[in-house]
Amino acid sequence: MKNEKLTIDDVARQAGVSKTTISRYLNEKYEYMSESTRRKIEKVVEELEYRPNNIARSLKAQQSKVIGCVIADIGSPFSAYIVKGINDVCKEKGYQVFFVNTDDNEDDEMESIQSLIAQQVDGMIINTSGRNDKYLVELHEQGMPIVLADRSLKIKNKIDTVTTNNYEVTYNSLAFLKEQGYEKVAFFTEDIDYISSRYVRHAAYLDAMAALFDSNGNKYTYYVDSNAIELCEKYLKEFMEKNKGKEKAIFTVNGVTLLHVLTAIQKLGYEIGKDIGVCGFDDWGWASLIANGITTIMQQSYENGYKCAEILLGRIGNEIKDEEPISLELPAELIVRGSTTIQGLHDDAKERVDE
């Protein structure tokens, strides 16, 4: 009797081949597979009476020329550019794209993915919530081409991924703040437990605080809610009062948090560049328009979407044959503006020039 609990891992282990090779066999992709390997897998599949589940069976041999794209927050300017990059590549290659928005909800993400599978898309680009890692890996191992946009899995080296060099650019930004004369830097962030871009940036912040500021960054990490601006105000006031007499700055994890921090600074009557420095992700259009400008980290969001689509279509068309997952980090750039110029130091420098 067929064992309903058998997985693709069991088959791969018994056959002595990779899970990717098993999924290719199940989807009748025999290119670059030797006859002996094919027969060995066939024998193991028969002996174990293994049958792929409904998800694997839904992957058609005949391509639909449609891909699915799951976006965590389609209202974000960052996501909008990712979507444009994806769409431009697909349009050029003759593919249609089904876009779905999940508002970073894992249940909605799961439901959206299953809906796309039912529509028999050829592959998916997913801006994951970070809470469905095992499911995504299982889908990939069953033969569904997947590329992760902007966010990676905690389960490393499993699925093609395009991200920003989050650790490097965050660490370098903290080094810049140190060079500017800031003594205390707070990290304002939304929840970081599952979303890779956030917890990688936080890890870089903690390392920079220890190495450059001789400080425990956890004491200056403030978790804010995008729906509760008063919490941001509370933590900002706490940080300011705790560090009186010190040159202080705030580093924000993303554009949404940056906007809330700026709103809180204004409501509490602090002056950017004099009372407090501000720096963080992302370089949205309004960053250059506020006061003397906000120092921000500009990511290659359009390029992220473009690369994701190139990789996915390369996998679907068998143009990318390497079984090892692609992990691409796009370089980000720190755009320096007036929000990270300490007024006192600036005035002293101006006086020396005038003399």
Give the SS3 label for residue 266.
helix
Residues 227 and 196 in one domain: yes
Q: Cα dist. 345→209, 247, 283, 352 in Å?
A: 22, 10, 25, 11
Residue 284: strand, helix, or coil: coil
Output b/e per residue, 125-137; b: 16+ Cβ within 10 A: bbbbbbbbbebbb
| Same domain (yes/no): 108, 235 | no
Question: Is residue 213 included in any domain, yes or no?
Answer: yes
Residues 271 and 345 grouped into a single domain: yes
154 burial (CB, 10 Å; 0-12 / 13-18 / 19+) is exposed
DSSP H or E run through 252? strand 248-252
Same domain, 348 and 306: no
pTM of structure: 0.80
Let me know whether 42 and 121 are in one domain.
no
Quick one: 117 and 237 in the same domain?
A: no
* Residue 69 identity (one-letter amino acid): C
How does pLDDT run along the chain (355 residues), one tens digit per residue?
A: 445 467 778 888 899 888 778 877 877 777 657 888 888 998 998 888 887 654 454 454 567 899 999 999 998 889 999 999 999 999 999 999 999 999 999 999 999 999 998 888 999 999 999 999 999 998 998 889 999 999 999 888 899 999 999 999 999 999 999 999 999 999 999 999 899 999 999 999 999 999 999 999 999 999 998 777 899 999 999 999 999 999 999 999 999 999 999 999 999 999 999 999 999 999 988 887 777 899 999 999 999 999 999 999 999 998 998 889 999 999 999 999 999 988 654 444 333 333 3
Nearest to 45, CA basis, from 69, 11, 93:
11
Domain with 152 in it: 66-163+302-330
Cβ atoms of residues 347 and 274 within 8 Å: no
Number of domains in the chain: 3
**282 shares a domain with 200:** yes
In DSSP terms, 298 is beta-bridged to: 333
* Residue 144 and residue 213 share a domain: no
> Residue 80 CB: number of other CB atoms within 10 A?
16
Residue 3 within any structural domain of the chain: no
For residue 274, what is the domain's CATH number?
A: 3.40.50.2300
